[in-house]
Amino acid sequence: MTVRITFLGGLGEIGRNCATIEIDGRLAMIDAGLMFPEEDMLGVDLILPDFGSVVERADDLEAILLTHGHEDHIGALGFLLREVRAPIFGTPLTLALARARIEEAGITAEMHEVEPRTWVEAGPFRFTFIPVTHSIPQAGGIAIETPEGIVLHSGDFKLDPTPLDRRTADLQTFAGFGRRGVRLLLADSTNAERPGVVPSETSVGPELRALVAGAEGRVIVACFASHVHRVQQAIDAVVADGRKFAFLGRSMLRVSEIAARLGLLDTHAGHLVELDDLLELPPERTAVISTGSQGEPFAALSLMAAGEHRSLKLEPGDTVIISATPIPGNETKVSRVINNLIRQGVRVFHGRNAPIHVSGHAAADELLTFYNVVEPKALVPVHGEYSHLVANAALGERVGIEEIVVCEDGDAVVLEDGELRVERKAVSGSYVYVDGSGVGDLEGVIRDRRHLADGGVVIVTVGVDQRTGEIVIGPEVDSHGLTGEPDDLHDLVVERVRQGVERLERPIDMDALRRRIRNSATRALRGRLRRRPFVVPVAIEV
């Protein structure tokens, strides 16, 4: 029987993690994540996997399995579930975070909490979740029984020997699968290029306490809202210094409420107060735990850095601790926030000048250890940029894994009759953009926006008598964003457009008129400016 694993996202990028596994014509999906846009993706809000190949087979989808609750693994669920319906399986925190996102989209979903190491069945799929340590509680790898043997997904993980919740990666269970035989391992690649091991999450706590204890004014700690263990250590640090604290930022409020309800976050009764009450207290006795560690333009920390937050104004002597490192693509935004904070006289500590962040992904030596425990017959590196995938493949070679395949989005790995083969571009791995209420292939729109940003815009208006072709209005030229504009440019465009319109056949076809206006103006502009502004033709039938 054929087993097919198809990658819809997450291979060659950080984000959009999503794959399907097919057995006997039925499908299960592993994660449904989103990715945040890069700076040149003008106006785009989010980027999703292309779910088209799954939507076409919506009736075949038996289950959605979630490794953990980060946005790059659950953030696209609300969009997916508009098109398909299937039960969702995950740990309590993962499902609670997913449910909040799904309900925001006005959708309901069937959800099933799973206990670690308990086998669950859905259609032809039999699977179990295995605890791992990561930068969010209750993360898990997933083992799936298939006719071709065990397919094991590591999830996002590292081998933290002293995690804050003492829930270590269950290497004993992973080793049991290794002895039984793992046909294919899908393994986290994010830190494959990094030698050694990643420090324990608990190493951050003493550093945070020292920085808070040395702070004179108000303290702002910014981190990922979903990094519940980091939030806990921030809380412990400010409480140890005798400070009251408030949460700030929509996602921080949402995640902290969920985590506290599930018993995963201790907010220390009497120390957590509302922001308005906090602002009435002396700043030196207060702290804020905030979103905005990635420089998001409208996040709380970015607004504070710009002096535009409606409630909280930073003062010289305040301390900001950014307990995170930038996701690839966010470096410029984070640096901008840091510089703006320093301009205000604020002391700023971040991952590059203080040991206040550790990664949640295994480095090279941890991956080597994991491979020696699992002993897979085949390896496909997942979750990472292409260089990460290649580096992870090289680690697999070092421990003697027999079959190693580097795949990209849209590829499929097929297991059949004991053999493994790869089908390149078996499905679309393209980006699907979310832009306001629009969802789809917006490459053309983004290209136009880049064109506008690069060359400016020229609006040319012409009104004609459609029957005779006589120009009654204009040509009128209105330009925006042009540099080095010659004095005679306006007259040149008017004359070229007039000549172009006069050569059109009568009666005037309005679509042909628009094309002629655009082409004539573009040629005139390109000849004088050595660039191509975006030309908007406005044709009026008089």
Same domain, 102 and 124: yes
| Final residue belonging to a domain, choices 300, 325, 349 | 349
DSSP 3-state assignment of 348? strand
How would DSSP label each residue in 245-304?
EEEESHHHHHHHHHHHHTTS----TTTB--HHHHTTS-GGGEEEEES-TT--TTSHHHHH
Residue 519 in domain: yes
| Final residue belonging to a domain, choices 413, 440, 467 | 440
Per the structure, the complete domain to which residue 391 belongs is given by 3-196+359-440
The kind and range of the H/E element at 219 are strand 219-222
Q: Report pLDDT for 488.
A: 63
Same domain, 210 and 192: no
Among candidate residues 366, 426, 346, the one with its CA nearest the CA of residue 54: 426
Q: What is the mean pLDDT of residues 467-479?
A: 80
Q: Report pLDDT for 154.
A: 98
Same domain, 228 and 164: no
How would DSSP label each residue in 41-69?
STT--EEE---HHHHTTGGGEEEEE-S--
Same domain, 172 and 120: yes
Residue 481 pLDDT > 70, yes or no?
A: no
Q: Report pLDDT for 300.
A: 87
Q: Report pLDDT for 529.
A: 66
* Count of domains observed in the chain: 3
Same domain, 84 and 103: yes
Same domain, 142 and 161: yes
Give the other-Cβ count within 10 Å of 126's Cβ: 14
Angstrom distance (rounded) from CA 65 to CA 453: 41
Same domain, 323 and 213: yes
Which stretches of 290-354 are DSSP H helices? 300-305, 331-343
∠99-16-204 over CA atoms, to 5°? 75
Give the other-Cβ count within 10 Å of 265's Cβ: 18
pLDDT tens across 289-327, in order?
Answer: 999 888 887 788 999 998 889 889 999 999 999 999 887
∠192-50-325 over CA atoms, to 5°? 35
**Burial class of 276 by CB neighbour count within 10 A (0 to 12, 13 to 18, 19+):** exposed
pLDDT band at 288 (very low <50, low <70, confident <90, very high): very high
Instruction: Looking at mean pLDDT, say which of 11-15, 26-30, 101-105, 339-343 comes out highest.
Output: 26-30
- The overall longest dimension of the chain from CA atoms, in Å, is 86
Q: What is the mean pLDDT of residues 406-426?
A: 97
Residue 515 pLDDT > 80, yes or no?
A: yes
Q: Report pLDDT for 512.
A: 81
pLDDT tens across 63-90, in order?
Answer: 999 999 999 999 999 999 999 999 999 9
| Final residue belonging to a domain, choices 440, 469, 503 | 440
Residue 42 pLDDT > 60, yes or no?
A: no
Angstrom distance (rounded) from CA 215 to CA 222: 15
**Global pTM value:** 0.82
pLDDT band at 204 (very low <50, low <70, confident <90, very high): very high
- Domain at 515, CATH number: 3.10.20.580
- From residue 347, alpha-carbon distances to 258, 278, 319, 322 in Å are 31, 21, 5, 11
